[in-house]
Amino acid sequence: MADTSFDLIVLGAGPGGYVAAIRAAQLGMKTAIVERENLGGICLNWGCIPTKALLRTSEINHLLHHLGEFGFAAENPRFEIEKVVKRSRAVAKQLSSGVGFLMKKHKITVFDAEGKLAGKGKLQLAKNGTALPAIAAPHIILATGARARELPGIEADGKLIWTYRQAMVPPAMPKSLLVIGSGAIGVEFASFYRDMGAKVTLVEVLDRILPVEDEEISAFARKSFAKQGIEIATGASVTAVKKGADSVTATIESGGAKRELTVDRVISAIGIVGNVEGIGLEGTGVKVERTHVVIDEFCRTGEPGLYAIGDLVGPPWLAHKAMHEGVLCVEKIAGLNDVHPLDTTNIPGCTYCRPQIASVGLTEAEAKRRGHEVRVGHFPFIGNGKAIALGEPEGMVKTVFDAKTGELLGAHMIGAEVTELIQGFTIARTLESTEAELMETIFPHPTVSETMHEAVLDAYGKVLHI
């Protein structure tokens, strides 16, 4: 009979859950993880990873249609959407199998089941409606993640109205799309489908796209997307949809005016809802606010011995934030003395559209709102030799410093591969670097990373190449 008693149980095997389980095993805890669907969770199977495979495909498709700029010629480049989807799914499957290997390597017991709290330190398991033996541990981490939020009257049906899941596995390439919501998910799908040839309309209820980004980055992105042919409506909402046999007619309202738009498919990308139902929170000391579990700085809930991490808890809802929470939560449980609370301003955010967008820390507006006197630097990609050589001159880097202390308050980037570059500024913030260290740092030439150095120099009137 399988073990039913553990030191630690993790409910949910997404990025936060499986990393928490690995760290617990490393620290000598007898660990179990419970997952009802796929190891790796939404991120690995239906989010972060397979979407990047799709976006790589759309990037290649874009390049194939601009071969002449690089001296090549090719007639009628085309793709087969079935093979595009197949590759994306294969990438996800490979990595999910990798998580399974890690569970075996660290001797973590994996339960293929649903789990529900059933009293202090106890988790009742079930599979396909059939109860399985309960398991117990003095510490239980909830990592059940989240799902797509749906608009009343515009619920996804899997055929004409899609969430991210259906958008990743289209049976055929739609000729036209309406994307509702311009956060990272909405913008990435808008970018993918546009670069694959679809006519795309992007609708955002707020006054600008990518509303969590710095205003200058949002404005730059809007101009870039519009140049690519994406129609953008801000300060607008979809108030109704009428389904046809193979199309959807949406009513879009903006400033009191209404118009109708008929498209092949609609993608709803308006945020997420925490998976708090059906996991036995009733009768516990766990507090839920707006579908997300409330925790303290070490991921503890209001119920002793019960913790929560990842998309189930507060923003930002990012895989790397969930992983970090999983590690710090387990290390605190283990009694390590050097565990630091998570500083959310040091969490980088990345959007993998074309051009890419990345940021860390405070926007200029937020820094001013918090009372900082700021120094701001900018540097355009057009002033960078490597960016021009790559054929990627569209982009910019913006830095925000505290004028009195030189603290790097925030960094904001748009352009080719900035999702890889942002970690330099993230390390700088973690090390509490000032402008002095950043200006003294030698950046290799020729690289796109030199734009980062120049944006720092610009904030202090020392920029060299503009």
Say whether 445 is catalytic: yes
The residues, any chain, with a CB within 8 Å of residue 370's CB and separated by 6 or more, are 362
CB of 199 closer than 8 Å to CB of 173: no
User: 């059906």: which residue's tokens?
Assistant: 278
Helix H or strand E encompassing 135? strand 130-136
Report the Cα 424 to chain-centroid distance in Å.
Answer: 19
C-alpha distances in Å from residue 351, one per residue of 52, 78, 197: 10, 26, 20
Q: How far apart are CA 250 and CA 241, in angstroms?
A: 4
Beta bridge partners of 147: 273
Q: Produce one character per residue of 208-229: b if its CB has 16 or more CB atoms within 10 Å, e if not.
A: bbbeebbebbbebbbebbeebe
Catalytic residue among 378, 445, 453, 465: 445
Q: Whose CA is closest to 134, among 126, 145, 143?
A: 126
Q: 271: which 2 tokens? A: 């945020």
Q: How far apart are CA 267 and CA 190, in angstroms?
A: 9
How many residues can be counted in the chain? 466
Q: How far apart are CA 120 and CA 284, in angstroms?
A: 9
CB of 440 closer than 8 Å to CB of 415: no
Q: 406: which 2 tokens? A: 């030189």
Report the Cα 12 to chain-centroid distance in Å.
Answer: 18
Beta bridge partners of 349: 359
C-alpha distances in Å from residue 440, one per residue of 116, 319, 385, 454: 54, 33, 21, 12
The amino acid sitting at 464 is L
Report, as residue numbers or ranges, the catalytic residues: 445
